[in-house]
């Protein structure tokens, strides 16, 4: 459409009410981040407490086999993420980011409660494992939509020159959710005996997660819709968030999958799998391994906004390329060294090296993906391909690691992580930088661009000379 062509008038209610823009952005970032924190607390606490409840649902066999069973259910949860990405990403594009965010946290609360009350194998046989599986599938459905809704919400709610910083709070809140889970674990390890934790103490974090999710549900109901979505609200709902529309942007969807591959494998290797690796392979005490993970993740969370702000100055590609080069070259030596340490400080130092490298991806991936799509298909475009990549690679990372360990070839997993990062490196080198992309008509007008901007990465590359 020509910029000078007549466009139908938009109803007044499609425009956000006037007010302090900075205050509204801060409220949006806080509200979106708090909900994201609880969502990911519920998601990750499963992995954190698996070493304690694995025997309750999968008795017999050696410890590695029991962990493989619980890791398998952890991976199965990822299979529902593409479904959640499709259903809830579509809902976010059609009915708003706020409504999708509210729905995801409701589903997560129900799932956490199911795990909390699941019967053990001694009481109900394999029924307990079935309840665990159903709850994990529900969590996967929820988290598949959560990523899309929060990534688009946090990115759209940020000022154009601070989107890297604003969107970095997705992984700040994700990591804080994991830290909260580890903090609960550390506290329970000190107030309960090993036997008490194994018998019933592992249920406590899931009860807490269900309660926190209810609190966040109330918070999210008070959030405002983003300006970018409000502009599109006047259009017919069936013109937004459809698979047909996503197919028109299939190149960007494939790009999301490819750039996610290396990042998601590296992230789950150095977060959810790290504690198990330090315990099972390095022979570190459970309490020490948990403390290493907690401290490393706390520093990791602090690095996210710093790296996000840096991307607002230098662009997204330099950080992505730095991550992929570092992960390709450093994974084998870092993981090999971690496998031989048994004390806190060496393990922490090596973990921080790895997580600093991973920051190049985690801090900006939400912004990059959101900047690839126009508003009418942004949530679905971010959600579905990202969820597919996570189902295939992120969710299976821990299982693949344990499979190699069980087969006696643990070091082969390190090469697997490096290979995934190398594939993404090729993508990062070839893709355009998306920092200059306008996410709304208001942003385009403020930047002197056409009133109906093409917000795809190709258009951004043309405006920035492909840099």
Assess contact for 128 and 116: CB atoms under 8 A: no
Evaluate whether 276 touches 334 at the Cβ level (below 8 Å). Answer: no
Instruction: Give the pLDDT of residue 237.
Output: 65
In the predicted model, is pLDDT for residue 180 greater than 70? Answer: yes
**What pLDDT shows up at residue 18?**
43
Q: What is the chain's mean pLDDT, rounded?
A: 86
Q: How many other CB atoms sit within 10 Å of the CB of residue 126?
A: 12
- Residue bearing the bigger pLDDT, 191 or 42: 191
Contact 319, 424 (CB under 8 A): no
| In the block, residue with structure tokens 């930047």 | 447
How far apart are alpha carbons 170 and 147 in whole angstroms? Answer: 9
pTM: 0.83
Token reading at 382:
């971010």
pLDDT of residue 453: 43
Confidence bin at 412 (pLDDT 50/70/90): very high
**Digit-coded pLDDT (tens) for 281-334:** 999 998 899 899 999 999 999 999 999 999 999 999 999 999 999 999 999 999
Could you give the angle at which helices 272-280 and 250-270 cross, rounded to 10 degrees? 30
Instruction: Check whether 458 has a pLDDT greater than 50.
Output: no
Tokens of 293: 């993970």
Give the burial class of 81: count Cβ atoms within 10 A of its Cβ; 0-12 exposed, 13-18 middle, 19 or more buried: buried
pLDDT at 66: 67
E strand spans, 27-72? none
What does the CA dihedral 111, 116, 120, 125 come to, rounded to 10 degrees? -30
**Contact yes or no for 348/213 (Cβ under 8 A):** no
Query: In the structure encoding, which two tokens stand for residue 386, read together?
Result: 């990202």
Q: What is the pLDDT of residues 166-175, one digit of tens each?
A: 999 999 999 9
**Residue labelled with tokens 């708003």:** 96
Give yes or no for a contact between 312 and 357, defined as CB atoms under 8 angstroms apart: no
What tokens were used for 457?
């990465």
| Token pair of 80 as six digits | 């529902």
CB 208 within 8 Å of CB 188: no
Percent of the chain, pLDDT > 90?
Answer: 52
- Work out the pLDDT band at 335, boundaries 50, 70, 90: very high
Question: Higher-confidence residue: 3 or 72?
Answer: 72
């Amino acid at each position: 459409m020509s910029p000078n062509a007549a466009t139908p008038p938009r109803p007044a209610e499609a425009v956000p009410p006037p007010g302090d823009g900075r205050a509204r952005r801060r409220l949006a970032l806080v509200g979106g981040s708090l909900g994201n924190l609880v969502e990911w607390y519920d998601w990750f606490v499963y992995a954190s407490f698996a070493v304690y409840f694995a025997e309750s649902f999968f008795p017999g066999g050696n410890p590695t086999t029991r962990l493989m069973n619980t890791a398998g259910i952890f991976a199965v949860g990822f299979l529902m993420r593409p479904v959640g990405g499709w259903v809830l990403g579509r809902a976010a594009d059609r009915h708003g980011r706020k409504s999708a965010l509210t729905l995801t946290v409701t589903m997560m609360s129900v799932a956490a409660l199911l795990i909390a009350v699941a019967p053990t194998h001694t009481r109900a046989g394999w029924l307990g494992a079935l309840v665990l599986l159903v709850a994990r599938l529900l969590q996967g459905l929820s988290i598949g939509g959560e990523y899309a809704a929060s990534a688009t919400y946090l990115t759209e709610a940020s000022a154009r020159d601070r989107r890297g910083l604003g969107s970095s709070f997705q992984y700040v809140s994700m990591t804080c959710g994991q830290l909260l889970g580890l903090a609960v674990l550390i506290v329970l390890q000190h107030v309960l005996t090993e036997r008490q934790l194994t018998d019933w103490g592992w249920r406590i974090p899931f009860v807490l997660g269900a309660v926190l999710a209810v609190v966040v549900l109330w918070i999210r109901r008070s959030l405002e819709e983003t300006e970018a979505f409000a502009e599109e609200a006047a259009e017919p709902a069936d013109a937004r968030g459809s698979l047909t529309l996503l197919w028109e942007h299939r190149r960007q969807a494939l790009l999301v999958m490819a750039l996610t591959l290396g990042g998601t494998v590296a992230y789950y290797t150095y977060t959810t799998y790290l504690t198990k690796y330090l315990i099972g392979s390095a022979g570190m005490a459970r309490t020490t391994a948990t403390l290493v993970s907690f401290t490393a993740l706390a520093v990791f969370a602090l690095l996210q906004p710093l790296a996000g702000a840096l991307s607002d100055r230098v662009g997204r590609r330099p950080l992505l390329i730095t991550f992929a080069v570092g992960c390709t070259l450093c994974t084998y030596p870092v993981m090999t060294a971690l496998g031989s340490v048994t004390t806190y400080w060496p393990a922490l130092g090596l973990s921080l090296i790895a997580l600093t490298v991973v920051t190049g991806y985690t801090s900006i991936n939400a912004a990059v993906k959101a900047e690839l799509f126009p508003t009418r298909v942004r949530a679905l475009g971010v959600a579905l391909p990202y969820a597919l990549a996570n189902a295939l690679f992120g969710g299976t990372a821990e299982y693949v690691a344990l499979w190699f360990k069980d087969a006696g070839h643990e070091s082969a997993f390190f090469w697997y992580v490096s290979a995934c990062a190398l594939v993404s490196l090729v993508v990062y080198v070839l893709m355009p930088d998306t920092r200059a992309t306008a996410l709304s008509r208001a942003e385009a007008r403020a930047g002197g661009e056409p009133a109906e901007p093409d917000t795809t990465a190709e258009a951004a590359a043309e405006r920035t000379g492909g840099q």
